[in-house]
Amino acid sequence: MVQLTSCFCTLAFILLHILYQPSIAAAADETATIYSVLSFGAKRNGVTDSTQAFLDAWAAACASLDSAEINVPKGRYLLNSMTFKGDCKSAQITFRIDGTLVASPDYRVLGQANNWLGFEGVSGVTIIGGTLDAKGSALWACKLSSKASNCPDGATSLSFTNSKNIRVEGLMSLNSQMYHIVINGCQDVLIQGVKVIAAGNSPNTDGIHVQFSKNVAIFNTSIKTGDDCVSIGPGTKDLWMEHISCGPGHGISIGSLAKDLEEEGVQNVTVKNAIFKGTQNGVRIKSWARRSNGFVQGVQFLDVEMVDVQNPIVIDQNYCPHNLNCPAQVSGVKISDVLYQNIRGTSATAVAVKFACSAANPCSGIRLKNVNLACRNQAVQSYCTNAIGKAYGTVQPNSCL
Ligand SMILES: *[C@@H]1O[C@H](CO)[C@@H](O)[C@H](O)[C@H]1NC(C)=O
Ligand SMILES: *[C@@H]1O[C@H](CO)[C@@H](O)[C@H](O)[C@H]1NC(C)=O
């Protein structure tokens, strides 16, 4: 009897469920409830502000007891700065974006906001597809002009803060005002098949910035931009990057570190199978020439191709633009255990390998294994100060470790 009742209840529940759900998704999650932004009033004409419709769709998805999918059909959606906040009842929310999200062409609309699309304190959020067109070029022009000090900083296009179990797949980010994607204070993040595109001279348009985050993986991602392709800040642990294409841009950079006296370290970072084309740097570790308790430990750069890269391999601990605010002129950041393996291709300058480490904290455990870098019309060389380590296999230019 007990069993029969519970069986009946289950059946009744399923029936109610089917009758009263807005719709049932077929794709990624069989049981996800679908919320289309169109049914919340979004307009796909690219000129009607759809911000409130997106926020309302998020609120509904967030309150859903089941997995939820927010659908953004084909079209262009004009959106202002938005924050999608947790905690949500739904354990899994997928944004499935077939359309393009566009920012106002007037850069002042987003210019003072930290983020255009910001996720805060969420868990189990996936973004599939979509194009973000932040229309940053007018702000870049302002920053590059003589009245640069009057320009707003600009907004990051997509950011995740204090969040976990995040997936971003097949997204394209165009012309951000500031950084394209920021992962800050997160855990368990997967980014794959993402494309970032901005002009080679666009200021501060880092592709993906990661900081204070653990277990972040970036796969199959192509970044063409005006600043770092990937920049890695303090407190980054267990970061994996594989199949990354970079250029134009400033390369993959750990740092700038030692911005603060008290600073979390960077640990266990891997770059595997990457290509850099015409970039300012290839793989770089950079710190201010300032006191700090920060550190970098356990980094591997594996199977990397350089094509006309100005500084293919570089550690620079002397960063101090305009020699301001670096009283001791040495970096407190300790760099150890860095492996460069199977790095090949061409340098656009004579110094293809540069380890300019801190006099107070020499770099240790630097390993070069099968490095083959050439320069089109001059001999390549390497430069070391305060760097301790070893070379294995064929290393060209000759190691100075
Ligand atoms: C990346 O792309 C390669 C080649 O297209 C594919 O084999 C691999 O599964 C992809 N990896 C991920 C994690 O998407
Ligand atoms: C380093 O990070 C990777 C993920 O990127 C992880 O699989 C590995 O276990 C970590 N290694 C250590 C020693 O923690």
Q: What is the pLDDT of residues 202-228, one digit of tens each?
A: 999 999 999 999 999 999 999 999 999
pLDDT at 29: 57
Q: Which domains does the chain have, with CATH numbers?
A: 1-197+204-227 (2.160.20.10), 233-401 (2.160.20.10)
SS3 186: coil
CB 184 within 8 A of CB 156: no
User: What is the reported pLDDT for 328?
Assistant: 78
Q: What is the pLDDT of residue 147?
A: 85
256 prior amide bond cis, ω within 30? yes
The number of beta carbons lying within 10 Å of the beta carbon of residue 370 is: 16
Mutate which of 191, 243, 244 for ligand 1 pocket (most atoms within 8 A of beta carbon): 243
Query: Which ligand gives the minimal distance to the CA of 215?
Result: 2
Tens-place pLDDT, residues 73-84: 999 999 999 999
Q: Evaluate: CB of 245 within 6 angstroms of ligand 1.
A: no
Write out the two tokens for 149.
């000090």
pLDDT at position 146, please? 85
Predicted local confidence at residue 6, as pLDDT? 43
Q: Is the CB of 238 under 6 A from ligand 2?
A: yes
The 10s digit of each residue's pLDDT in 85-141 is 999 999 999 999 999 999 999 999 999 999 999 999 999 999 999 999 999 999 999
Are 370 and 330 contacting, i.e. CB atoms less than 8 angstroms apart?
no
Q: Is residue 18 over pLDDT 90?
A: no
pLDDT at 30: 66
**Ligand 1 centroid to 11 CA: how many Å?**
42
| Residue nearest atom 9 in ligand 1 by C-alpha distance | 220
pLDDT tens digits, 361-383: 999 999 999 999 999 888 999 99
DSSP assignment of 107-156 equals: HHHHHT-SEEEEEES-EEEEEEEEEEE--THHHHHHHHSTTGGGS----E
Question: Which residue owns the Cα nearest ligand 2 atom 13?
Answer: 268
| Residue of minimum CA distance from atom 12 in ligand 2 | 268
Tens of pLDDT, residue by residue over 265-308, are 999 999 999 999 999 999 999 999 999 999 999 999 999 999 99
Average pLDDT, the chain: 93
- Residue 15: pLDDT band with limits 50, 70, 90: very low
Nearest ligand for residue 191 CA: 1
The atom number, within ligand 2, closest to the CA of 238 reads: 2
Q: From the alpha carbon of 243, which atom of ligand 1 is closest?
A: 1
Q: In the annotation, is 180 catalytic?
A: no
Residue nearest to ligand 1 atom 5, measured at CA? 220
Report how far apart, in Å, the C-alpha atoms of 58 and of each of 7, 75, 87, 158, 349 are.
34, 19, 12, 16, 50
Q: What distance in Å separates the CA atoms of residue 356 and residue 317, rounded to the nearest whole number?
A: 6
Say whether pLDDT at 163 is over 90: yes
Angle formed at CA 266 by CA 265 and CA 270, multiple of 5 degrees: 165
Q: Which pLDDT tens digit goes with each residue over 181-200?
A: 999 999 999 999 999 999 99
Q: Specify whether the CB–CB gap between 24 and 18 falls below 8 A.
A: yes
CA 182 to centroid of ligand 2, rounded, Å: 21
Q: What is the pTM of this model?
A: 0.92
CA angle (333 as vertex; 329, 335 as ends), nearest 5:
125
